[in-house]
Amino acid sequence: MTFDDLLRLLHVLGAAVLFGTGAGIAFFMAMAERTRDPRIIAHVGGIVVVADTVFTATAVVLQPLTGYGLARAIGWPLTEGWIVLSLALYVFAGLFWLPVVWIQIRLRDLAKQAVVRKAPLPPAFDRLYRIWFACGFPAFAAVIAIFWLMLAKPDITLF
């Protein structure tokens, strides 16, 4: 395996982790919320926060590093249109991911508080959950667009 091959492998694995962890987190959090059971939501919310920290945050940091290394090793200029657009979409997705992390922590905490008080989920939970849910769509669309750009490498003139 060449160094280029290793970088490609790490970059593809990182992309798979970002997309797969995001999809898994969204699925499990949505399924937990559907139960309306604060105990289940608090438990799943705790796992979601850990998964986002361990997997997503790590991949978020490593993805640009492997992408940069790969571009340099192959000889792609970083001003290549599809690379610039990929990076812009990466930042766009990140702008939705950062508040989602905070919201997940709040959702977990609100569910934990409801468990302790033996009370139903407060209205703030539902408001935050709707925002969390809505943030997923543009972020996932951006990640899918990045996958397409990485595969198709279209000739895009930006400058």
State the pLDDT at residue 158: 78
State the pLDDT at residue 157: 87
Average pLDDT over all residues of the chain: 96
State the pLDDT at residue 150: 94
State the pLDDT at residue 159: 67
State the pLDDT at residue 41: 98
| pLDDT mean over 84-97 | 96
Q: Kindly tell me if the per-residue pLDDT of 144 is higher than 90.
A: yes
Residue 119: pLDDT band (50, 70, 90) is: very high
Report the range of poorest mean pLDDT among 1-5, 93-97, 100-104, 149-153.
1-5
State the pLDDT at residue 106: 98
Q: Which structure tokens are listed for 137?
A: 């769509």
CA atoms within 13 A on the CB side of 40: 10
| pLDDT mean over 32-39 | 98
CA-closest candidate to residue 36, choices 134, 110, 135: 110
| pLDDT mean over 96-103 | 94
Q: Which structure tokens are listed for 3?
A: 């160094």
State the pLDDT at residue 81: 96
Determine what percent of the chain is predicted with pLDDT higher than 90: 97
**Cα 35 to Cα 121: distance, rounded to the nearest angstrom:** 11
